Amino acid sequence: MAAVDDLKFEEFGDSANLLPASQDDIAVTIEEPSLNPPAPRGLPRGLRREEDEELLGNSDSDKTELLAAQKRSSPFWTFEYYQTFFDVDTCQVFDRIKGSVLPVPGRNFVRLYIRSNPDLYGPFWICATLVFAIAISGNLSNFFIHLGDKTFHYVPEFRKVSIAATAIYAYAWLVPLGLWGFLLWRNGKVMSIVSYSFLEIVCVYGYSLFIYIPTAILWIIPQKAVRWILVMVALGLSGSVLVMTFWPAVRDDNRRIAIATMVTIILLHTLLSVGCLAYFFDAPELDYPSTITPAPTHQYTTRVVSAGH
Amino acid sequence: MAEADELTVGETATKSGFLGLSDVSISEDIPVEGEITVPMASHSQDEDYSTLDEPVRETIIRDLKAVGKKFVHVMYPKKSNALLRDWDLWGPLVLCVSLALMLQGGSADSKEDGGPQFAEVFVIIWFGAVVITLNSKLLGGTISFFQSLCVLGYCVLPLTVAMLVCRLVLLASMGPINFLIRLIVVIAMFAWSTLASTAFLADSQPPNRKALAVYPIFLFYFVISWMILTFTPH
């Protein structure tokens, strides 16, 4: 019956065929968005290793990179441009500090915590706190070491604050600059999967210095063994954060250059901590000076006696 | 003049039975006189618009009163607009200079590391205040630059009082009790400064970043307190 035929659904076929193919009409076809996310720029999917997928936080790396590109849209002479570098909440800063103190093996600090939102708040204020922590702790430690000494006159040693500030801010800003330039140069020669922007490197270095704040306060204890154990622990924790961050970036390079880079990073970090310990904190070796002095005269008399024979 | 007019109108109205105002005429016998002036509240009002003619003493006393009022607001911090809206930098300058001068006694003659020099104290206070203000603005705070400088500068007042007390206590003999008194005074004034400035500045920050903006203020007053506590005269 015609009514039943009318009610039956008609198949129309492809919509493009129904439109009259006249030159005046413009056929617009809208395609469904593709369900597979496209591979990150410049890299076919097959070449990525599994650990890098985990490290890169695959699912939203594209989204966060797009967001980052949108955020920096103001020109650099406006105030809003610099506000994008302070776009962090209190809980985010705490998470980043926690991630720098307790490194999870295999997880990359930058990808896990920073995620294309590097901030300048953490590096700047952690360095400022570290400067004053080292200067004040050094002063206090010297005071306690020389406490019983009548000839010691206490001075606040304010010069050391400016020296500490120069050293720490130079380390936290010039070393990332050098490292970033070096990585950029190597990326020109060897295509690497992971590359960091300058601000991300500054961020990693800044947050990795956080462990030295409680270390500096504990260095007040005037025992050499305690101080060196603290140096080892702090170096281990912050060094491992740096190594786990930068190893994926240099791993594809020539083996020797990769290892040399890692060794240089760790060496500079060690130099900073040991240098601060040596310069700002007097050595606590005043436990036994009174027992040393009688011995030379005793030796002298025995030698004279033996020479006389 | 108005009264004379009304009398004339009233008289003609009663005489002619209120035939309308067309019959109103002002006769030449009654003089019309008066003053066309806008009534003023006081004679001295147009002198207030230009303070150029007032004696110098009045100007100075007015500014001193404004500064004094802000000192009182710092010592008893309640939410008030005096510090924020009518900011001025005289108070911070006076406090900074007096604090830097009082910190001078120990290091003038020592060649080695001593206490902070005058310029160092000055730079720490002003540069520190500028950096904290920039930090709070970059984090999205709504306070203006000079208002924040004004609050941070005025809240150095408790620490200046602590410095004064420390210098007086140091005139007595040195010893652990001496140090303990100074320690307690400096800690109390440090807490007062930090709480006072936080009371004024914390509300202008977005709520999830308050701690990020308050921590630098804490560090700033801590450094100043450390300089005060470690002051040793010679």
pLDDT at B41: 55
Q: Say yes or no to pLDDT of B209 above 70.
A: yes
Q: Say yes or no to pLDDT of A303 above 60.
A: no
Most confident of A41-45, A55-59, A232-236, B27-31: A232-236
State how many domains chain B has. Answer: 1
Cα atoms in the Cβ-side hemisphere of radius 13 Å centred on A264? 13
* Distance in Å, alpha carbon of A84 to nearest chain B alpha carbon: 8
**Considering CB atoms only, which of A85, A125, A154 is closest to B232?**
A154
Taking the Cβ of residue B169 and every Cβ of chain A, the question of whether any pair is shorter than 8 Å is answered with: no
- Average pLDDT over every residue of A278-291: 68
* Distance in Å, alpha carbon of A70 to nearest chain B alpha carbon: 18
* Distance in Å, alpha carbon of A200 to nearest chain B alpha carbon: 19
pLDDT at A34: 45
Q: Say yes or no to pLDDT of B136 above 50.
A: yes
* Distance in Å, alpha carbon of A213 to nearest chain B alpha carbon: 13
CA gap A212, A235 in Å, rounded: 9
Q: Say yes or no to pLDDT of A58 above 90.
A: no
B137 Cβ contact list (under 8 Å, min separation 6): A79, B143, B145, B148
Whether residues A155 and B223 touch (CB distance < 8 A) is answered with no
Q: Say yes or no to pLDDT of A241 above 60.
A: yes
pLDDT at A288: 42
Taking the Cβ of residue B142 and every Cβ of chain A, the question of whether any pair is shorter than 8 Å is answered with: no
Q: Say yes or no to pLDDT of B192 above 70.
A: yes
Q: Say yes or no to pLDDT of A48 above 50.
A: no
Count other Cβ atoms within 10 Å, centred on residue B83. 23
Q: Say yes or no to pLDDT of B48 above 90.
A: no
- Residue pLDDT, tens place only, B138-163: 988 888 899 999 999 999 999 999 99
Q: Say yes or no to pLDDT of B109 above 60.
A: no
Domain assignment of residue B31, yes or no: no
CA gap A167, A212 in Å, rounded: 14
Distinct helix (H) and strand (E) counts, chain B: 10, 0
Per-residue pLDDT band at B222 (split at 50, 70, 90): very high
CA gap A254, A123 in Å, rounded: 31
The H or E element containing residue B40 is none
Interface of chain A toward chain B, CB-CB under 8 angstroms = 79, 82-83, 85-86, 88-91, 93, 121, 125, 128-129, 132, 136, 139, 153-160
Q: Say yes or no to pLDDT of B105 above 60.
A: yes
pLDDT at B95: 94
- Residue pLDDT, tens place only, A158-185: 888 889 999 999 999 999 999 999 888 8
A191 Cβ contact list (under 8 Å, min separation 6): A252
Rounded to the nearest angstrom, the gap between the alpha carbon of residue A230 and the centroid of all alpha carbons in its chain is 20
Stronger pLDDT, B149 or B175, i.e. the higher one? B149
Q: Are B129 and B224 in contact (CB under 8 A)?
A: no
The residue assigned the tokens 């609050």 is: B151
CA gap A215, A273 in Å, rounded: 10
pLDDT at B214: 92
**Considering CB atoms only, which of A128, A139, A158 is closest to B114?**
A158
CA gap B150, B89 in Å, rounded: 6
Tell me which residue of A209, A211, A249, A251 sits closest to A110, measured CA to CA: A249
Both tokens of A85, joined, read 């570098």
Whether residues A132 and B223 touch (CB distance < 8 A) is answered with yes
CA gap A253, A238 in Å, rounded: 24
pLDDT at A11: 64
Q: Give alpha helix (H) positions in A150-308.
A: 159-189, 198-208, 212-218, 224-250, 255-280, 289-292, 294-308
Whether residues B139 and A129 touch (CB distance < 8 A) is answered with no
Count other Cβ atoms within 10 Å, centred on residue A74. 13
Count other Cβ atoms within 10 Å, centred on residue B180. 10
Lowest mean pLDDT among A81-90, B177-186, B219-228: A81-90
- Average pLDDT over every residue of A238-251: 87
Domain assignment of residue B12, yes or no: no
Spell B152-175 as b/e; 16+ CB within 10 A means b.
bbbbbbbbbbbbebbbeebeeeee
Q: Say yes or no to pLDDT of A44 above 60.
A: no
Domain that holds residue B158: 81-229
The residue assigned the tokens 């400022």 is: A128
Burial tier of B230 (Cβ tally within 10 Å: 0-12, 13-18, 19+):
buried
Domain assignment of residue B163, yes or no: yes
pLDDT at A287: 52
Q: Say yes or no to pLDDT of B94 above 90.
A: yes
Taking the Cβ of residue B119 and every Cβ of chain A, the question of whether any pair is shorter than 8 Å is answered with: no
pLDDT at A54: 45
pLDDT at A59: 46
Burial tier of A136 (Cβ tally within 10 Å: 0-12, 13-18, 19+):
buried
**Between A and B, how many CB-CB pairs are < 8 A?**
68
Lowest mean pLDDT among A199-213, A284-298, B150-164: A284-298
Stronger pLDDT, B113 or B209, i.e. the higher one? B209
Whether residues A132 and B219 touch (CB distance < 8 A) is answered with yes
* Distance in Å, alpha carbon of A82 to nearest chain B alpha carbon: 7
Count other Cβ atoms within 10 Å, centred on residue A285. 10
pLDDT at B84: 76
A111 Cβ contact list (under 8 Å, min separation 6): A55, A56, A57, A61
pLDDT at A207: 92
* Distance in Å, alpha carbon of B116 to nearest chain A alpha carbon: 6
pLDDT at A39: 43
Q: Say yes or no to pLDDT of B111 above 60.
A: no
- Residue pLDDT, tens place only, A67-119: 555 556 778 888 888 888 888 888 989 988 988 888 887 777 777 777 778 88
Count other Cβ atoms within 10 Å, centred on residue A146. 15
- Average pLDDT over every residue of A28-52: 47
Q: ∠ CA(A107), CA(A113), CA(A116), 5° rounding?
A: 115
Q: Say yes or no to pLDDT of B201 above 50.
A: yes
CA gap A118, A203 in Å, rounded: 6
Stronger pLDDT, A115 or A129, i.e. the higher one? A129
- Average pLDDT over every residue of A218-236: 92
A90 contacts in chain B (CB < 8 Å): 208-212
- Average pLDDT over every residue of A54-72: 52
pLDDT at A37: 44
Q: Say yes or no to pLDDT of A23 above 60.
A: no
Please give the residue of chain B at the shortest CA–CA distance from A129. B219
Tell me which residue of A115, A117, A118 sits closest to A57, measured CA to CA: A115
Domain assignment of residue B168, yes or no: yes
The residue assigned the tokens 């270390």 is: A215
